[in-house]
């Protein structure tokens, strides 16, 4: 019998109990899954970083912590977590991110706001350039960045992708490392942030990097709020250098009601909904990892504690 502790926010149990049970059964596992156990009895923890469980010390027999979120910045540095930590790569989450990013890119590319908010009797006949004349840069070329790059390339946007390590990706200008960051920004009319939050990426979008963008560029942040220096962002928008910022993630979430971002005419706030882990598809990922753990196979999507993602 495999004992599985479900240690996400209590609201999630109702969503996950049925699909996880189904996926674990389909993986041929004999298990007992609950929201409470004696810690020493637990074999695997299905986890979300906003769980009440923060001290892993008593889970002496736990073989792995399986995160339901893609982002691990709130758990990767936990010194009590000594067992392997896997993050979530879920097809449903990836497709959701592709749809959100593509939608917001198309909004800015086509200048849709001028028609949606401009129903004032004026015949605005300005034609948007074709996608092939609108360079897009994606910072973060992992699971989500690459999927978005593929979708945008299929729409014929010229895509530049920036990552920590060098890559070769068909149809994409691939740049890497700090030395090539500004080069990746200098022709970008639309920039999409899909970086994890680590010690190295915190504040990566600062005054200097914003100044490297061409005038009128649009910034779309679906990564994490602290990737951006907020004061630098506001200054750049107010100086009319940056055209618009669409922000899904923030230093403090929920974004406080009095926060300047809510009222800024050149900022669009979305409430961390760019994409979510989908219970049905992610349950299969969790079940596969437990099956692997039981079979002595390498776990999928392990987090590198050194790089922090």
**104, 224, 244, 278: which one is catalytic?**
224
- Sign of CA pseudo-dihedral 198, 199, 201, 202: positive
Q: Find the shortest distance in angstroms from Cβ 22 to ligand NDP.
A: 24
Distance CA 40, CA 42 (A): 6
Alpha-carbon distances, residue 109 vs 62, 132, 135 (angstroms): 49, 11, 10
Residue with smaller CB distance to ligand NDP, 197 or 210: 197
Instruction: Pick out residues in 253-272 that bind ligand NDP (CB under 6 A).
Output: 272
Under rule CB under 6 A, residue 184 binds ligand NDP: no
Q: Which residues contact 224 (CB under 8 A, 6 or more apart)?
A: 71, 73, 195, 196, 197, 249
Looking at 64, 141, 172, 255, which residue binds ligand NDP (CB under 6 A)? 141
Does the active-site annotation cover 272?
Answer: yes
Residue nearest to ligand NDP (CB): 142
**Of residues 190, 39, 6, the one with CA closest to residue 103:** 190
Longest dimension (CA), the chain: 70
Q: Find the shortest distance in angstroms from Cβ 137 to ligand NDP.
A: 12
Does the active-site annotation cover 224?
Answer: yes
Residue with smaller CB distance to ligand NDP, 107 or 272: 272
Q: Which residues contact 153 (CB under 8 A, 6 or more apart)?
A: 159, 171, 172
Distance CA 85, CA 68 (A): 11
Under rule CB under 6 A, residue 71 binds ligand NDP: yes
Under rule CB under 6 A, residue 246 binds ligand NDP: no
Under rule CB under 6 A, residue 201 binds ligand NDP: yes
Under rule CB under 6 A, residue 232 binds ligand NDP: no
Under rule CB under 6 A, residue 248 binds ligand NDP: yes
Kindly list the residues in this chain that would bind ligand NDP in the complex (CB under 6 A): 70-71, 93, 140-145, 163-165, 194-198, 200-201, 222-224, 248-249, 272, 274-275, 309
């Amino acid at each position: 019998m495999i004992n599985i502790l479900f240690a996400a926010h209590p609201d999630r149990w109702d969503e996950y109990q049925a699909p996880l049970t189904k996926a674990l059964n389909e993986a041929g596992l004999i298990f007992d899954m609950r929201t409470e156990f004696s810690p020493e009895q637990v074999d695997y923890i299905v986890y979300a970083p906003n769980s009440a469980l923060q001290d892993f010390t008593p889970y002496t027999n736990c073989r792995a912590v399986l995160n339901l979120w893609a982002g691990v910045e709130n758990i990767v540095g936990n010194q009590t977590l000594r067992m392997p930590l896997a993050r979530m790569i879920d097809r449903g989450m990836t497709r959701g991110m592709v749809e959100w990013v593509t939608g917001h890119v198309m909004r800015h590319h086509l200048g849709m706001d001028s028609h949606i908010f401009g129903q004032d009797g004026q015949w605005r006949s300005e034609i948007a350039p074709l996608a092939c004349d609108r360079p897009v840069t994606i910072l973060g070329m992992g699971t989500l960045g690459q999927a978005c790059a593929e979708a945008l390339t299929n729409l014929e946007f010229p895509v530049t992708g920036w990552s920590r390590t060098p890559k070769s990706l068909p149809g994409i200008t691939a740049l890497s490392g700090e030395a090539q960051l500004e080069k990746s920004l200098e022709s970008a009319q639309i920039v999409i942030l899909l970086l994890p939050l680590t010690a190295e990426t915190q504040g990566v979008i600062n005054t200097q990097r914003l100044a490297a963008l061409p005038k009128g560029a649009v910034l779309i942040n679906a990564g994490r709020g602290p990737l951006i220096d907020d004061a630098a962002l506001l200054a750049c928008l107010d100086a009319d250098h940056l055209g618009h910022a669409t922000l899904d993630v923030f230093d403090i979430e929920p974004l406080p009601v009095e926060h300047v971002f809510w009222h800024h005419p050149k900022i669009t706030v979305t409430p961390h909904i760019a994409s979510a882990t989908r219970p049905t598809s992610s349950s299969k990922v969790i079940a596969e990892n437990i099956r692997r753990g039981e079979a002595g196979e390498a776990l999928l999507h392990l987090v590198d504690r050194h790089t922090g993602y």
